[in-house]
Structure 1
């Protein structure tokens, strides 16, 4: 039996600002739907990812104010850092650790992202 993670919720305070931020990062806005009054659902997917994340209004998937830390595997941490900086996304320098090379950034609401280049074992 396969268990596939497909959707991870994050909290945001301004849906439109978050959409613009993730577009700036270069990620796909898959859905932006308002099926009923008080409910807006936005789904975003990083290029090449089988897992998406969502945010919006009226979703009540997380406790208000709760922040997420999400780790994404990338082929090349230096290229990921350059990709972010070319788009004026503030990010860390590449961090060298025994378990990989990392670049970190945070969205406008404090959700944290770690981009990990796996080590060559």
Structure 2
């Protein structure tokens, strides 16, 4: 049996603002924007080329034993791209406040690209949820 991560809930305060940010500025595809039950709205968005989506939820009951996530507290979600410089340029052109490309060096985070799997950038959504983008080799045999 395969266990796949398919949907990650992202806590936001304003569904329409978050939808516009992820669709227009980040470039995610809008898969669903629907009131799936009275008072329950779900917006599902997927990064191009990904099987894993994010879900923006409003009015969704919290499963028993779980806590409601506070907007702005989700950090470290990570996406991979094959060209970090192009990804950074695209985000900056769309008005996203994006960090410089950095890598992990001897002194911690250092500016510029690193070796294979060691080039990153970061950004936050309008609520402060933090994302990391990592450059991955196009030849995945380097995993």
Task: Give your verdict on TM over 0.5.
Answer: yes
- In the alignment, which residue of structure 1 is the partner of 2:2? 2
- In the alignment, which residue of structure 2 is the partner of 1:19? 19
Determine the C-alpha separation between the residues in 2 that align with 1:19 and 1:60. Answer: 20
3-state DSSP of counterpart to 2:119: strand
Quick check: 1:114 aligned with 2:132?
Answer: yes
Tell me the alpha carbon deviations over residues 26-46 of structure 1, each in whole angstroms, 9 at most, x when there is no partner: 111110000222100010101
Runs of 4+, deviation exceeding 6 Å? none
Determine the C-alpha separation between the residues in 1 that align with 2:82 and 2:3. Answer: 23
Give the unaligned 5+ runs of structure 1. none
3-state DSSP of counterpart to 1:116: strand
Matches within 5 A, 1:30-109: 30-61=31-62, 63-65=68-70, 67-69=73-75, 70-97=77-104, 99-109=117-127
How far 1:96 sits from its partner (Å)? Answer: 1.7
CA gap of 1:95–1:60, structure 2 versus 1, over 3 A, is: farther
Moved more, 18-27 or 38-47: 18-27
| Alignment check: 8 A CA contact 1:80 1:103 kept | no
